[in-house]
Amino acid sequence: MINDRLENRRWVISALITVVVLVYIFRLFNLQIIETRYKQGAESNAFLRKTIFPPRGLIYDRNSKLLVYNKPAYDVALIMREIHDLDTLDFCKALNISKEFFDNRMLEIKDRKKNLGYSSYTPQVFMTQLNIEDVAAFQENLYKFPGFYIQNRTLREYTYPHGAHILGSIGEVSRRKLESDPYYKQGDYAGRDGVEFTYESALRGVKGVEILLRDSKGRIQGRYRDGEADEAPKAGTDLYLTLDIELQKIGEQLMNGKIGSAVAIEPSTGEILAMVSNPAFDPSLLVGRQRSANYAALVKDPTKPLMNRATQAQYSPGSTFKPIQALVLQQMGGIKEHTLYSCNGPASSPIKCSHSHGSPVGILNAIEQSCNPYFWSAFRAAIEKEGYGEKNLKFKSHYQEWVDAIKSFGIGRKFEDSDVFEQSSGNVPSQKYYNRYYGETGWRAMTIRSLSIGQGEVLVTPLQLANSMAAIANKGYYITPHLNANDTMQLRKHETLVDSAYFPIVIEGMWRVFEFGTGRRYKLPDISMCGKTGTVENNRGKDHSLFVGFAPRENPKIAIAVVVENAGFGATWAAPIASMMLEQYLKGKIERVELFNQIATSTTNPDVKTR
């Protein structure tokens, strides 16, 4: 019995000793391996690890013209545990900041909810993006402020005050970014929009580290092991855009005083040559210490200059939709080359024509004269060619065929395989949409007749419109529109659902618009041009002015779409803007100087600030 009790005690004591040893081992492992605070504290007594920020990649246009480069800037950083006997007022005076700013900033740094991974042992950013003038006085007095130091950084600088929506801007990283990407630390900056955002990982480069040796009093004694342990930064990769900055500049000048956009694409490659959105702003406004104030002012501007209307605004295409409609309706059998429909001008019903012209009308005259009744008759013939059938199934089948063919031109959906930042999808109304509003059998061609002339529920972005012109110029396909000139996009070729045999007559009709129709005043005499004007009804004011086209007719080099909001007829504003952008790109200069000055100095919206 006694021996049994002693034996039991021995096992209990052994177990207790084992547990204690395991607890100590786990605690030592936790302190030395998992928990970094004490390691950081020990290392910070001997070393100062300074981040060296790499120069961000430069950005060039398609002709190797420098658009975005770097200029030196400075951050004020600190190590909280090393700050002592700080004369706060003297510190604030040296940095030209208020005591209130100082107190709030120190609270933000210590707030672990806002500053993930905060440690009093590691460097923290106090102020960023100071220029040499801002930091000069502080640097002279730096010895008075132990715990603070200056680290070098770069800021973006712009060669041209154009292309802000394309280029994008740099801003402090968000909490979500900090949590998702270990590259970034609190106070770091990254691309927020445009190509700066899309190509952030390439443009940012790789950070370096400089390790400095401290003495027992924390004073810097030099580089640790003569810099052998330092890691040099790697500069970001330069980015070459498809953008033609001279064309972009001309486009922005022509859109001055107007609300709208202009997009130009090279049909054979899908390269975006210009992407104008107005109201615009100088990209340098969103750089440096004034970024927050300038950004707030842009947000409050009722004309929405931060919105990229070229990719985000959605419009009814109006008559600019008719070339696409003519192609799709030929494919569906609603019209043939010699099909004729009558037109009674403004007396036509249920859709009237904008003006009187000869009747009956064929496809060439219908495009040239922009005949609404022709396209309504052709649309109805195509989707009702077999009647309706039980529960309108035959009609709906042909409507779906029409929807799919229209979408194949890149309309009604985002370009998911593109590098263009922030796109709206536009809209081609689905069967489900109409079933919800009218019931399964409550709608037919008459119900949706506005679609035949590009009104009603169909919506496009200017980028989609320009891309559809590229598809017509290519006689049946488009390459995904994109901005990176070094990206191989030829594999991203999208075929339309329209046979190539139907394109020549539509292209001829668009050529006649410039030769004899609404675009004739703006034809270049030595270039064969194709186009289509559009005057789009607008429930919120004056009609929108639209124009689409491409040139030359044979072997097209540029396709374009222009939208001028609340400006009236397409031939009055959008057509001359498009014509001069075509001229700039094809000839390298504007020869119609008087016309250029007239359009560039005219205002269609008094609320828009001219630049």
Tell me what percent of the residues of the chain surpass a pLDDT of 90: 65
**How many helices (H) does the chain have, and how many strands (E)?**
21, 17
Q: How confident is the model at residue 39 (pLDDT cuts 50, 70, 90)?
A: very low
Q: Give 407: exposed, middle or buried? Use CB within 10 Å, 0-12, 13-18, 19+.
A: middle
For the segment 298-333, what is each residue's pLDDT rounded down to a tens digit? 999 999 999 999 999 999 999 999 999 999 999 999
Is the per-residue pLDDT at 27 higher than 70?
no
Which segment of 14-28, 190-204, 580-594 scores lowest on mean pLDDT?
Answer: 14-28
Q: Comparing 123 with 459, which gets the higher pLDDT?
A: 459
Which residues are CB-neighbours of 283 under 8 A, at least 6 positions away? 68, 156, 158, 161, 163, 164, 167, 169
Average pLDDT score over the chain:
89
Report the alpha-carbon distance of residue 399 to residue 421 in Å, rounded.
32
SS (H, E, C) 490-546: CCCEEECCCCHHHHHHHHHHHHHHHHCCCCHHHCCCCCCCEEEEEEECCCCCCCEEE
Report the alpha-carbon distance of residue 461 to residue 543 in Å, rounded.
17
User: Which pLDDT value is given to residue 219?
Assistant: 57
Q: Comparing 509 with 33, which gets the higher pLDDT?
A: 509
Q: How confident is the model at residue 37 (pLDDT cuts 50, 70, 90)?
A: very low
Which segment of 112-126, 344-358, 567-581 scores lowest on mean pLDDT?
Answer: 112-126
Q: Comparing 230 with 357, which gets the higher pLDDT?
A: 357
For the segment 151-166, what is each residue's pLDDT rounded down to a tens digit? 888 889 999 999 999 9
End-to-end distance of the chain based on CA atoms, in angstroms?
A: 103
* Mean pLDDT across 456-473: 97
What is the model's pTM?
A: 0.87
- Based on its alpha-carbon atoms, the radius of gyration of the chain, rounded to whole angstroms, reads 33
For the segment 413-427, what is each residue's pLDDT rounded down to a tens digit? 999 999 999 999 999
Q: How confident is the model at residue 214 (pLDDT cuts 50, 70, 90)?
A: low
Q: How confident is the model at residue 120 (pLDDT cuts 50, 70, 90)?
A: confident
Q: How confident is the model at residue 135 (pLDDT cuts 50, 70, 90)?
A: confident
Q: How confident is the model at residue 33 (pLDDT cuts 50, 70, 90)?
A: low
* Mean pLDDT across 71-99: 90
* Mean pLDDT across 41-49: 58
For the segment 473-498, what is each residue's pLDDT rounded down to a tens digit? 999 999 999 999 987 777 789 999 99
Q: For 159-208, where are the alpha helices, taking DSSP H only?
A: 164-167, 175-180, 194-198, 200-203
191-228 CB burial, b ≥16 within 10 A, e <16: bbbbbbbbbbeebbbebeebbbebeeebeeeeebeeee
Going through 94-207 in order, the beta strands assigned E by DSSP cover 124-130, 148-158, 170-172, 189-191
**Which of 3.20.20.140, 1.50.10.100, 3.40.710.10, 1.10.3720.10 is the CATH number of 245-279+308-600?**
3.40.710.10
> How many CB atoms neighbour CB 572 within 10 A?
17
- Closest among 572, 560, 402 to 466, alpha carbons compared: 560
Is the per-residue pLDDT at 5 higher than 70?
no
User: Which pLDDT value is given to residue 32?
Assistant: 57
What CA–CA distances, in Å, run from 103 to 89, 107, 110, 145? 11, 6, 11, 16
User: Which pLDDT value is given to residue 30?
Assistant: 62
* Mean pLDDT across 427-434: 96
* Mean pLDDT across 189-206: 95
For the segment 215-252, what is each residue's pLDDT rounded down to a tens digit? 655 555 567 776 677 888 999 999 999 999 999 999 99
For the segment 275-306, what is each residue's pLDDT rounded down to a tens digit? 999 999 999 999 987 888 999 999 999 999 99
Instruction: Write out the CATH class of domain 49-240.
Output: alpha beta
Is the per-residue pLDDT at 267 higher than 60?
yes
Query: What is the CA angle 260-262-268, rounded to 5?
Result: 160
* Mean pLDDT across 542-571: 95
Report the alpha-carbon distance of residue 547 to residue 554 in Å, rounded.
20
Which segment of 173-182, 396-405, 463-472, 496-505 scores lowest on mean pLDDT?
Answer: 173-182
